[in-house]
A and B are shown apart, each in its own frame.
Chain A
């Protein structure tokens, strides 16, 4: 856009302004790096670039903001011990605030400007759904999505893989426990009114008969959702005569539900999805806001939940020990060991194992193949193996039922596995030992 500097009419000034807009845009644009000419983007002899988007601020950040840094700490630990086939992992974390409008450009930036080999542990269902078509069309692996949506196994999107047991499977396992152990009791549901809660209810409904349901209540997962507490919902369930209450809630909502029940002097049997039942998180929330009335751990006592990772309080567990020591050294923002930190570490381990399994000659198709053929054999830091195969892109295959007692979680069932529609089976294997890969060798 070249206008002669002499033109002084405002008319043309306006026109040139339009041009200037474009020039600035272009100037900003050309600063980003062009992809280097390697056969596999993001992979050199000494480096693998991975990226993720996750909420570090905003309404969804509480708790979740710990996950990506914890995974990054595992990578740094592996890097400090020689990397993978001599390659160090560079992990780029972008803060999308759980807003798909930000996830889209940030992910495209990761791919086109930062030149990532794959995305790992992108957090959230709407956020990751927003970039799924793009990543797949570019044949970029969308690994270990941090969401339990039952939507990640989709033949249209062969490059996408979920990480945690999907919410339907989780709901089935919790539901079958309720059916068996609280037979004849009236059951109430309180769930987040979105895919997380609704999928959970789908699973529960497969096991719990309609006739034993006393009532269903929900709340909005948006910023206004908890602005008036959950007193109305809890009072409705109480008045409907529920004796068992299943919560498909995020931790803040779990805490508010327990508090609302305490206000009504009502103590039903709580059954809480693993998403909203992390005892350290809840105990922290509850102890500080009901100190004068009851202790937080007391409110939580006897609650049933499910777990696919070993109890965080199990200090003798080799994986827990390892994670805690790595995070202490390598996670700069590390404050407390809790379920989110454990989740992030699990993500990190899985990624490293996958890169190892994909071999020295690292390519994107090779990586996908490795995950589909070997993924189910990985030594996971969870209680169960992964389900990955060519036709299954969910992550952990199931979970066990645990009871929260004095802030500790104690298993009260065998480990169950299931699929969206299949039967519930018992998993008899024991947790994989820590492989040499992570022993600092």
Chain B
């Protein structure tokens, strides 16, 4: 059974992504209107997590490289935005764009050696970066205000919009726009070149592509997404301080990516949901058992660790991959029962299927 033509999404990537984004955005908008202010705050948190994970996912899923220190690029974005907002009175978009730019530049610099590095080397470099970024604010304390960090005033909502809802709108809007850009980036000629390089570097070079340049650029794009997340984070948290960007944050982002499905932009949303709600659930569930304080306190991290391991071993394409295979299984069943020979439409998601890219 084919959908009527007008019901199908356009094939032109930009249009398609925009339509999807508008649809998703509308749904999110309705939700922000109907839930409590605390829930709005969590929606805002989901927003910045999602775009940060999406950035990491582009690096890992498309470039085949891994960063254990993506929190460091978030820090670059958050500090840039925070400093801008502290010293200048500019419309919100400016500091956020500066955050994106600064993270992209730093990401490109770090990515330079990455062009020639195999996965584990890069992982180690970024791990070292995750530690270093926490010490820098103290070294340049007069600029970054040391461990107390930079206070960011919450954005003033227009009219009678509650502050939390306004925050949710800003971060979700930022995240959705970021996603559209990433999706188009991946569908562009550039994205195709990247995949070519990932799949067969020699052949790609022979075809005239420059793998090194492509990799640096992907690293910059990935870091830029983290920078956007950092800028939104600064607004959400109201403070930018070194303690926010511990190794744990980078590991959380990695966990979110693995749980959601690496290489998938939609998966980034699942990952963000998991990062926001799993700790809450863990806390609620462990509250019902008579556990010692020490066990309770370590429960959240243990659950994250276990989840990463189990998913990586049993379902390395994460929730999104699982949903995809579930969906195609349902599709096969339905076709068989109906004798429907309709071909599945070509994959629409802007990233290649996780079975292919992901680890």
Contacts and interface: CB of A to CB of B under 8 A. Distances in A.
Interface stretch (A11-19, A81-89, A430-438): A11-19
A15 B39 CA distance: 23
A225 B294 CA distance: 24
Contact of B31 (A25, A32, A61, A97): A25
Contacts of A361: none
A205 interface: no
Given A21-B24, A332-B293, 9 more contacts: A22-B28, A25-B42, A29-B31, A29-B39, A57-B294, A95-B297, A137-B154, A149-B148, A194-B147
B359 interface: no
B210 interface: no
B138 A194 contact: yes
A37 interface: no
Contact of A21 (B36, B233, B270): B270
A9 B297 contact: no
Describe A's contact surface by its main secondary structure: helix
Contacts of B247: 223
Contacts of B154: 133-134, 137
Most buried by A among B151, B154, B241, B270: B241
Interface string A332-355: 110000000000000000000000
B345 A195 contact: no
Interface string A96-118: 01111100110011011100000
Interface string A20-47: 0111111011101010000000000000
Interface in A105-145: 105, 108-109, 111-113, 125-127, 129-131, 133-134, 137
A425 to B, nearest CB: 29
Interface string B7-26: 11100000000001001100
Contacts of A407: none
Given A101-B244, A104-B236, A222-B242, A56 B297 contact: yes
A69 B238 contact: no
A374 interface: no
B329 to A, nearest CB: 13
Given A8-B334, A11-B345, A104-B236, A223 B38 contact: no
10 contacts: A12-B7, A21-B266, A56-B297, A95-B300, A99-B248, A101-B249, A109-B38, A129-B148, A220-B134, A223-B247
Contact of B35 (A9, A30, A151): A30
A224 B147 contact: no
Interface in B229-262: 233, 236-239, 241-244, 246-249
Interface in B164-215: none
A165 B134 CA distance: 27
A332 B255 CA distance: 33
B121 interface: no
Contacts of A372: none
A361 B204 CA distance: 76
A228 interface: no
B261 to A, nearest CB: 11
A36 to B, nearest CB: 13
A43 to B, nearest CB: 19
A202 to B, nearest CB: 13
Describe B's contact surface by its main secondary structure: helix
A57 B1 CA distance: 56
B41 interface: yes
A61 B269 contact: no
Q: What are the 10 tightest A-B residue pairs by CB atom distance, in nearest-first order?
A: A29-B39, A112-B38, A56-B297, A194-B147, A18-B24, A57-B297, A130-B239, A29-B35, A126-B241, A333-B293
Interface in A229-258: none
A378 to B, nearest CB: 28
A100 B243 contact: yes
B341 interface: no
Nearest to A101: B244
B24 A19 contact: yes
Given A57-B298, A125-B148, A10 B344 contact: yes
Contacts of B348: 10-11, 14
A194 B139 CA distance: 10
B45 A105 contact: yes
Contact of A97 (B238, B248, B294): B248
Interface residues of B, number: 74
B270 to A, nearest CB: 7
A405 interface: no
A7 interface: yes
A379 interface: no
Most buried by A among B36, B37, B347: B36
Interface residues of A, number: 67
A15 B342 CA distance: 20
A428 to B, nearest CB: 35
Contacts of A10: 327, 344-345, 347-348
Contact of B37 (A17, A19, A112, A137): A112
Given A9-B8, A17-B323, A65 B297 contact: yes
Interface in B17-59: 20, 23-24, 27-28, 31, 34-39, 41-43, 45-46
A108 B8 CA distance: 42
Most buried by A among B37, B41, B154, B276: B41
A175 B277 CA distance: 49
Contacts of A19: 23-24, 27
A380 B131 CA distance: 41
A127 B293 contact: no
A26 B35 contact: yes
Contacts of A95: 296-297, 300
B297 A11 contact: no
A302 interface: no
Interface string A196-233: 00100000000000000000000011111100000000
A332 B296 CA distance: 13
B295 to A, nearest CB: 10
Nearest to A6: B1
A225 B286 CA distance: 32
A1 interface: yes
A193 interface: yes
Given A109-B38, A195-B148, A133 B237 contact: no
A99 B41 contact: no
Contacts of A223: 131, 134, 246-247
Contacts of B280: 109
Contacts of B294: 57, 333
B155 to A, nearest CB: 12
A100 B20 contact: no
A17 B327 CA distance: 11
Given A17-B266, A25-B273, A100 B327 contact: no
A105 B3 contact: no
